[in-house]
Structure formats: C-alpha cells, structure tokens
Amino acid sequence: MCIGRFLENAWNIATSDPRKVIHGVKAGIALTLVSVFYYMKPLYDGVGGNSTWAVMTVVMVFEYSVGAIVSKSFNRMIATFLGGSAGVGVHWIANQCGEELEPVILQASVTILAAAAAFSRFIPSVKSRFDYGVMIFILTFSFVSVSGYRVDKLLELAKDRASTIVIGTSICIFTSMFIYPVWAGRELHNLTYKNLERLADSLDGCVTEYFKENEENNGRKHEGYKFVLNSKATEEFMASMARWEPAHGSFKFRHPWKQYLKVGASMRSCAYCVETLGGFINSEVQAPELLKKHMREACMMLSTSSSNVLRELAMTTKTMTRSTKTQFFVQDMQFAVQSFQDVFKHLSKQALLLTEHEAVKENTAQKTKTVPIMAIFPITTMATLLIEITERVKSIVVEVENMATQADFKENKA
Amino acid sequence: MCIGRFLENAWNIATSDPRKVIHGVKAGIALTLVSVFYYMKPLYDGVGGNSTWAVMTVVMVFEYSVGAIVSKSFNRMIATFLGGSAGVGVHWIANQCGEELEPVILQASVTILAAAAAFSRFIPSVKSRFDYGVMIFILTFSFVSVSGYRVDKLLELAKDRASTIVIGTSICIFTSMFIYPVWAGRELHNLTYKNLERLADSLDGCVTEYFKENEENNGRKHEGYKFVLNSKATEEFMASMARWEPAHGSFKFRHPWKQYLKVGASMRSCAYCVETLGGFINSEVQAPELLKKHMREACMMLSTSSSNVLRELAMTTKTMTRSTKTQFFVQDMQFAVQSFQDVFKHLSKQALLLTEHEAVKENTAQKTKTVPIMAIFPITTMATLLIEITERVKSIVVEVENMATQADFKENKA
C-alpha cells in the first residue's frame, strides 16, 4: 500500500515535470562517464586508485541546476587546494619542531581550524556561497595534516587528487550544460513572471468570488498568492546559484539576479494584502446584497486595473521587453481609484439616508427590517484593501522598472 | 576593509549567540577525537587505512542540532549498508554472467540506480528525510560495483568501512548529546513561543504607533511579525530534525512536532493581517485626529485583549502548562469586539450628524472646514482588520490547545 502510494507520487512528479526525470538520466550518464575510468585501462593507470574520488566528486557535486553544479565544483576545487596546501604547510611546520611536538601541533591545528570552519558556516555570506567549500576545506586539511605521509608522498597524492577532481567536475559541468541544461537563472526568471501572473489571477479571483451572483465555484483559482508567499527560500537559492552561471539565452553574465529578490519581496508584500482580502471572502459578516450590487462594478474595475498592471509586468519580464502600456495601465489604475472614491462618496450619502430612515422607524417603534451601519464595514475594508493593493502594485512596478534598467531590457518597437 | 567587516560580522554573530561558538568548539573536539585513531597505534591497526572514512564521517555528519546529526548518522549507516549490499549483489550477478557481459551489467546498473536515486530526491518524503541517505547509497553502490575487487576482498572492506562509520557517528552523537547539546526540538519549541510573543508585541506596537499622540519613536518594536512571516522554512527543518531526537528535557519521544507546524501556519496567517495593518500606519490617508481620539480607547482595548491571548498562549507553550486564563482572555477579546462594535454604532451616528451638517453647509454655500466621509475609512479598515485578527488569534488558540492535548501539557494547579 505504502509503496504503491509512493510510486504513484513519484509517477505524478515525473509526469508533471519531465525535466526531473531528465535530471535523473543526466546524473546516470555523468556517473557512467566517470566510472568508465575504471574500465579503460590506460586511463586507469593514469588516475590510479584515486578514481574513487572522481566518483565521489560526481555524486556530491551533481545538482539540479547548472549554477549549483558550477558553485559546488568551484567550491570543491578551491577548498581542496586550500585545505591541501594548509595541511602540507602545517605538516612541514610540525616536522621542523621535532618528534615530540609534532602530534601536538597537528592535533591543535585540526581542532582550531575545524572549530573555526564549523563556526564560519553560521556567517550568512559564507553560508550562502561557500558552505560546501568550508566542509571540503576542513575535510582535506584533516586528511592531509593527520595522515602519516611524508611531504613528497603528499605532493604526489595531491596531484592525483587534483586530477580526479578536475575530471569529476568537468564531467558534471559538461553533462549539465550540454544535455537539456537547467539554468537556475532561467528558473528564477520564469518563477518571477509566473508569480506576477499568479498574483494577478488571485486578485481577480478573490474579487470575483466575493461578488459572484450565483454559487458557482471558480476552482480555487484565487489561491495562487499562497505560492507567491512561499517562494522566498526558492528565490534566494536560485539567485545565489544564478550568479555562478555563464551567460545563457537572453541572460548576460552580469544579469541583475539580486534585483529579482527585490521584485519578489515587493510581490510578497502585495500577496500579504491579497491574503487578508481573501480572508474576507468567506467571512461570516457579509455586506448586504444591495450594497454589494452597488459596489460590484467599481470594485471589479479597481481589481481588474491592478491585475492588468501585474499582467503587463509579467509580460515585460517574460519577454524582457519594456512595455509602453505599463504606464497607461498604471494611470488606468489611478483613475479606477479615483472613480472608486467617487462611488463611495455617493454611497455614503445613501447610507446616511438609510440610517436616518432607520432612526425614524425606531422612534415610531415600527418593526421593519433595517440595514445596520456595521454592514458597510466589510465593503469599506475591501475598498481600503484594494486601494492599498494598488499602492503595493505601484512598488512592484518600480522594482520591475529597476530590473528593466539594470538588465537592459529591449525597447518595444510596436 | 572587506576582511575587517567580515570579522566584525563574525564577532557580532558570536556575541549574539555564543552557542554557535560552542558548536564550533564541539566540531573541533569531535574531529580531534576521531583523528586520535591515527595516532594511537593499537587502534590504528584495528581500523586500518580506512580511518580516512571516520574523519570524513565526522566532517559530513557534524551538524548543529542533535536531530540533524542523528538523522545524518542513521542515513549514512543504513545507506552504506544498503548500497554496499546492492553493490555486492550486482557484482555477484555480473560475475555469473561471464567476462563479456560483466562490465555491461555493472555499468548499466550504475546508470539506472544513479538515475533513480537522483530522481528520487525530488520526491518530498524522500527529500525531507533521506536526502543524504540517497546520496550515500549511490556513492557506496558505485564504489562497490565498479571497483575491480573480488567479493571476498569486498567483504573485508565492508567490515572496515562499517567500523569506521560506527566510530565516526558514535563520536558525533556522543559529542553533540553530552557537550552543551542543541536539540532541534527545543529550538522549535522556543521559536514557537517566541514567535507568539513577537506577534503580540507587533500587534500592540502597530496600534500604539497608529494612535501615538506625540512623535516619539517606539523603536520599531512592531516589526517582529516579519520574523514570524519568515520562519516557515526554519520551522519545517526543525520539525523534521526533531523527529530523530530521543526524549530530552520535558519532551517525550513522540512529542507532536508536526503540531508545531500547524501552530506556525496559524501564526503566519495572523501575521499577514498584522502586516497589512502595519501598512496602514504609515499610510498617507490618515483619519482625522478627532476621530482617532474617539477610537483610541476601543482599538487599544481590542488589540490589547488579542495580544493578551497571544502572550498567554506563549506562556502556555513556554511552561508547557495549560492555563485556565486562556479561556478568560478569549472571552475578554470577544467582549472587546462587542464593545468595539458598539462604539462604532455610536460613531456612525455621529458621522451621520457630521455629514448632515456638511450637507446643510453646502446648501447655504458657507465655506467651513468639513470632515469628508472618506476620512473614516482608514479607521473602519483598522477596525475590520483588528476584528479579523481576533478571528485568526482564535484559530491559533485552537492549534495551541490541540498541541496541549497531544503533548499532554501539565494542568495548572494555581
């Protein structure tokens, strides 16, 4: 049963994103390529028994995106070199100090460097870029400094180790870049414009759901904002990996990946508001139908104008082409806010009459249905939230425009 | 300059959380203990040249929390055993098939298993618990199946490898559990009640900031909700590590760690609302001073009653003792909502008079300052948001009560 469900789960993942299957196949190919070194005699002689290390390199380094592989490869190479050098250095120093002090110096150096390395992994700048490198550094350093080898034997070992790592990482980078490459940068780019679309859909969905006349279900289309809320970690990981990638597709070498994080943050700020708005849809306190009917058009206009801006930004990001329409849509949104406020002024006068009427009835002790003033609160809140959302959409516009400038988006010739 | 800032950064981290320094020292101790095997002759003979693997085990497995170390140790042991067995099995089968087929079978098995393993890391249930294990499995399997060793040599190697892993992981677990242990479970527990406190502080802070009479700055105390918004990944990681930990302190073996995630989710849902509320504090459209003064007391009462509930929940969680006061505070909050609505009814009548007055003035064409009806929107929104927050606080109450039941919290005897 359990295995059945597991396989079903795996099958669903495989069919929903075939690139994950391709990643598996690529990993298989990379490992096969490296294990070829065990079978081809001349190569075997060249790299020797250390080919174990080439296999290990491939297994440890082969990640999903090109950026992650390049990052780990770089970390592994540099850290092995630094760790090895430091090890040889300490070894040499310990050797000079005589037989008695030697183990003490070696042991102390391992303890101190291991402690420093373990601590350094808490420093954010180290953690985000060199986490794997620190681990490999201390690993290599420990191997070298505590091994009983003499220095000349160590140098020979170092040469072997270096060649296995170069072979392992080259195979990984080659496989990842030339067989259906998955670029962290492109993933981040796609995630960003898809999140803009999701936000637009959620906003439309929420408002439509609130004002729907019959009980049709719109299929929870408006829950896309949840995805936006939970994208922070993914965005940060992708952005930090994307920095390691060479130019690919429309992305130049120094593409402003950090700016995507700012766009993401402004999107989340907007999504918080949409989440709050969504909370009111299923709220028990609903505005009276009459009022809702009255407000429907103005609210829809407001949300549609905001989501139009979001969709235009998504399109700008997707096509990497500045759109002349964005400013038009922003003005449209401003206009919607203005006309919304007019409707409200009009409404508040009506509500006034309604309450007056109510007061009169109370005095004459007639029992008729009256609309409590509290009933207009859900709709004023909705109004204020929608207006707040337009404000937050404007800051997304600013961040996307910064991105367009920094990344040198094409001008629209249409 | 750059190094100076880096060191300053490191120093700040060290002074703000000395446990991170202790972790570094512990890592140093663990690595020193394991490298002792290289120096103590009798032990050296026992474990042989493979002690490299013990060092590697310590470097790879030594994480911050006990749970993470136990999880990785378990993964490493089981995966090495399974990978080794599978490798020996394939080796044996390949051997039986004759010299020509042997490399083909070995190669094919590596490719297929590596692909399957790489793909399996995308399956959430594998990713969260056995990510490291899958890596070690494929590593060991590749080593064994592609190595040219005969089976009897392999078994000897397996014995060595097993003993180094046992030594390495034992040292790690011992060091992590007996020297200033950091339990993922306790961390999660602390994070949860601290986040409840942060949420209470933010709520109070936001409302105080909004209604403050003079321009004093309350030191951004109300920004704690941002921490709550960003705790999701940490909570999930901690909860998944806590499951590997033995009973410690007040936490039994089957403590309901998953329930903490539900509490976390309900807190975030509340934090979204607080975030939206916070957005209105610095909003340009402010309610007129008169209105604010009028509402001040009712709003403060509402927010204080909500934050009292949150603080009581924090205390319940912190002391792991059910509080009889929680229900009292919830009723208090309900009462605040009720009296808030009364104030509003009263206010709306006043607003009514105000507008009537305004209308009269318009008719007589007198030019005096009038309060536009739009001006009450910020305050009605604030009202609705505060009431929505009380709703969301109630769902936190439910989740914390579920936690109290599942974790068998003590009854308060006071």
Residue B345's CB is within 10 A of a number of other CB atoms, namely 12
Q: How close does chain A come to B412, measured CA to CA in Å?
A: 35
Q: Which two tokens stand for residue A318?
A: 């997707």
Instruction: List the Cα angle A223/A224/A226 in 5-degree steps.
Output: 80
> The whole model's pTM is what?
0.86
What pLDDT, on the 0 to 100 scale, is given for residue B311?
93
CB of A270 within 8 Å of a chain B CB? The answer is no
User: Alpha helix locations (H) across A282-324?
Assistant: 289-319
Q: How close does chain B come to A404, measured CA to CA in Å?
A: 27
Window A:38-57, CB contacts with B under 8 Å? 38-39, 52, 55-56
CB contact under 8 A, A374 and B32: no
Q: Which of A227, A283, A259 is nearest to A400 (CA)?
A: A259
What pLDDT, on the 0 to 100 scale, is given for residue B154?
75
Residues in chain A predicted with pLDDT less than 70, given as ranges, are 1, 37-51, 148-151, 213-221, 282-288, 347-377, 413-414
What pLDDT, on the 0 to 100 scale, is given for residue B366?
38
Segment B387-393 shows an average pLDDT of 90
Q: How close does chain B come to A323, measured CA to CA in Å?
A: 29
Q: Tell me the domain boundaries of chain B.
A: 12-178, 188-411
- CA distances for A190 relative to A183, A314, B277, angstroms: 11, 10, 31
Q: Which two tokens stand for residue A121?
A: 């992994």
Under 8 Å between Cβ of A154 and A91? yes
Rounded CA-CA distance B136/B146 in Å is 15
Residues of A in contact with B29 (CB under 8 A): 111
A254-258, B128-132, B240-244, B347-351: range with lowest mean pLDDT = B347-351
| B380: nearest CA partner in chain A | A377
Q: How far is CA B147 from the centre of its chain?
A: 42
CB contact under 8 A, B139 and A56: yes
Measure CA of the first residue to CA of the last residue in chain A; give whole Å.
Answer: 58
Window A:58-97, CB contacts with B under 8 Å? 59-60, 62
pLDDT in tens, B67-113: 999 999 999 999 999 998 898 888 888 888 888 888 788 888 989 99
Tally DSSP H helices, then E strands, for chain A: 15, 2
What pLDDT, on the 0 to 100 scale, is given for residue A67?
92
Residue B360 has pLDDT above 60, yes or no: no
Output phi, psi for A411, to 5 deg: -90, 140
Instruction: List the Cα angle B25/B30/B32 in 5-degree steps.
Output: 90
| A119: nearest CA partner in chain B | B24
Residue predicted with more confidence, B286 or B171: B171
Alpha-carbon radius of gyration of chain B = 31
Residues of A in contact with B344 (CB under 8 A): 373-374, 377
Q: In sequence order, which residues have a C-beta less than 8 Å from that of residue A189 and are 6 or more positions away?
A: A251, A260, A317
What pLDDT, on the 0 to 100 scale, is given for residue A70?
94
Under 8 Å between Cβ of B70 and B178? no
Residues of B in contact with A381 (CB under 8 A): 380-381, 384-385
Residue B340 has pLDDT above 70, yes or no: yes
Rounded CA-CA distance A198/A193 in Å is 9
Residue A78's CB is within 10 A of a number of other CB atoms, namely 14
Closest CB from A31, A341, A384 relative to B142: A31
Best A276, A360, A387 residue to mutate vs chain B (most B CBs within 10 Å): A276
What pLDDT, on the 0 to 100 scale, is given for residue B361?
43
CB of B388 within 8 Å of a chain A CB? The answer is yes
CATH architecture of residue range(s) B188-411? Up-down Bundle (1.20)
